[in-house]
Amino acid sequence: MTDRQGMIADFLARHGWGQARRCLLADDASFRRYERLERGDETAILMDAPPEFEDVQPFVTVAHHLRSLGLAAPEIYAGDMARGLLLLEDMGDDLFARVIRDDPGREKALYRLAVDGLIHLHNSSLPENFPPYDRDMLGAELGLFVDWYLPGQDGHFLTDGERAEFLALWQRLLSPLLQGPYCLTLRDYHAENLMVRPDQKGRENHLSRLGLLDFQDAVIGHPAYDLVSLLQDARRDVSCETEQEMLDYYLKHTGGDREDFCRDYAILGAQRNLKIIGIFTRLYLRDGKSTYLDKIPRVRALLDRDLAHPALVEVRAWLERYTPPAASCPRPLKPEKAMILAAGLGTRMRPLTGDCPKPLIRVAGKELLSWSLDGLCAAGVRDVVINVHYMADQMTDFVKNYYDPRLRLTLSDERAGLLDSGGGVKKALGYFGDEPFFILNSDMIWRDGPQQMLRRMQALWQPENMDILMLLVPKDRATGYDGAGDYDRGPDGRLTARGQAPEADYVYGGIMIIRPECFRDAPDGPFSLRRQFDAAEKSGRLSGIIHDGEWYHVGTPEMRGVVEKRITDAQKAEENT
């Protein structure tokens, strides 16, 4: 039994469900899992949302608000917020999508019921302290399309100017919508998150029959958004006839201006569909969930429908320039494997390393090693080798209990003797085969700029022209570094080592992509990676990419405190905005 399974068993026992029969219902696009619990003729639902990935408090807050409005969100029987566990009312199995699939004749009645739910919600008073669906949030969602879908098609990122042009088009379109009207927006209001409640049968048009699920991301937004979510469903086909009929029904009962509302509906529909295409691509490339790929063509068709509106002519033209006309299956960016150098003694970090290996020292709430692993996972890396020497048993326990199932972690054991940076990599080469791979130092932390740094490296990697691609940090922005610099970078991206020069512009940022052929003539035993760096530079195949975010070297106990403060200050500033 894993630690999490033990937590769940304890939670269920404390609330009288310890002996219940448990049946897995579903995972979803997040990291939540659901189980049905059966205790005699009683049932309940367990929501398991690991706190490393999910916060259940928003679900609880929104559920209480919806129930206060007379809408049928599940009752919450018990919760352990810190552990991400909730015990919920069981609303049955009659998802709208399932009911309509089995009885297509009920489609319009159920969609009218769903629209009635929105009309009721939109006529209700706004809750306090809910985040706004503002330009920053809408823009970040649009970034998913350009940062995941487009690179997944051709392996290239947009330039900063091209990306800025796309977002500026959208800022102009969205600005009038941000002036109101406002309502509580559930954001995932569609047929697989709506239930026909089993205890209300025979009351087809009454809101007590409308069960609501998956609303924890609710914000204060525009009334058209959830209507788009319902009628332009990424998971099932809704006919144009039904879409138009439900739009007419909504406008008849709300009295809005038809032309303005339909314009806003098309704009938010296009924004949402671009976001979903990006999310489905990311779910595949980052999280390994391939089941979402076959939904992208449907969403592309919905997007085309929205782009036909005259208000979106500039967006349509931009997409025609930068989006491949024939979409293909998104291709993962390479490399998908990495090695983290974590076998050092950490002597400069004493006394912190007196009873803990340096990679497991915590900075701003998590281990140094976890900072690197989280970044690798976010870039779609799946296999990571970590070399160990000092206090290897603690490293073994860390790997055994690591919380993210998307990563496969392997230890390369150097307890018999340290092999230095190059020797450690050579020992682990068998894990990487013939493909290039990342190498990361374990004593640095980075924060991304406008785009994810590791994905920028993946997109720039050119094995035909490079043996090594290094991350470079401008010397004056390298927190925790006080040296003279390591490399200068030419206009073509090739690097020249400082050598005997008094200084160089850039610091090696402790991350690289390297070809395994670089170790073909490497000696056995300990040696430094400097050997590979010098050989690649001599052959003109050492390149660099400049980091556009924050970078910290955690080399001393004092610097740990400095870096922790900078990160926590930045995190607080982000939360406040």
**DSSP string across 513-574:** EE-GGGGTTPPSS---THHHHHHHHHTT-EEEEE--SEEEE--SHHHHHHHHHHHHHHHHHH
Q: Can you tell me the distance from the alpha carbon of 263 to that of 306, in angstroms, rounded to the nearest whole number?
A: 9
Closest CA to 485 of 498, 470, 469: 498
Q: Can you tell me the distance from the alpha carbon of 491 to that of 112, in angstroms, rounded to the nearest whole number?
A: 61
Structure tokens at 379: 């870039």
pLDDT of amino acid 286: 86
Q: Strands 437-441, 337-341: parallel, antiparallel or unpaired by DSSP?
A: parallel
Question: What's the CA angle centered on 31, arms 27 and 35, to 5 degrees?
Answer: 40
> Which residues have C-beta within 8 Å of that of residue 11, sequence separation ≥ 6?
78, 80, 83, 85, 87
Q: SS3 for 241?
A: helix
Question: What's the CA angle centered on 389, arms 387 and 390, to 5 degrees?
Answer: 130
pLDDT less than 70: residues of the chain: 1-2, 26-30, 199-205, 575-577
Cβ atoms of residues 242 and 205 within 8 Å: no
Q: Can you tell me the distance from the alpha carbon of 3 to that of 443, in angstroms, rounded to the nearest whole number?
A: 28
> Which residues have C-beta within 8 Å of that of residue 57, sequence separation ≥ 6?
81
Q: What is the pLDDT of residues 16-66, one digit of tens each?
A: 999 999 999 866 556 788 999 999 999 999 999 988 888 999 999 999 999
Q: Domains of the chain by range and CATH? A: 3-88 (3.30.200.20), 96-322 (3.90.1200.10), 337-576 (3.90.550.10)
Q: What is the pLDDT of residues 432-484, one digit of tens each?
A: 999 999 999 999 999 998 889 999 999 899 999 999 999 999 999 999 998 99
Q: Can you tell me the distance from the alpha carbon of 189 to that of 332, in angstroms, rounded to the nearest whole number?
A: 30
DSSP letter (8 states) at residue 197? -
Q: Where are the beta strands (DSSP E) in 119-209?
A: 183-185, 194-196
Furthest C-alpha separation in the chain: 86
Helix axes 313-322, 160-174, angle to 10 degrees: 160
CA dihedral 130, 143, 271, 309 (to 10 degrees): 150
Q: Can you tell me the distance from the alpha carbon of 346 to that of 327, in angstroms, rounded to the nearest whole number?
A: 49
CA dihedral 352, 356, 357, 361 (to 10 degrees): -60
pLDDT of amino acid 205: 47
Q: SS3 for 479?
A: strand
Cβ atoms of residues 271 and 141 within 8 Å: yes
- Whether cis (ω within 30° of 0) applies to the bond prior to 491 is no
Q: Side chain identity at 166, as an amino acid letter?
A: F
Cβ atoms of residues 472 and 507 within 8 Å: yes
Q: SS3 for 321?
A: helix
Q: SS3 for 314?
A: helix
Please state, as a whole number, how many other Cβ atoms lie within 10 Å of the Cβ of residue 471.
25
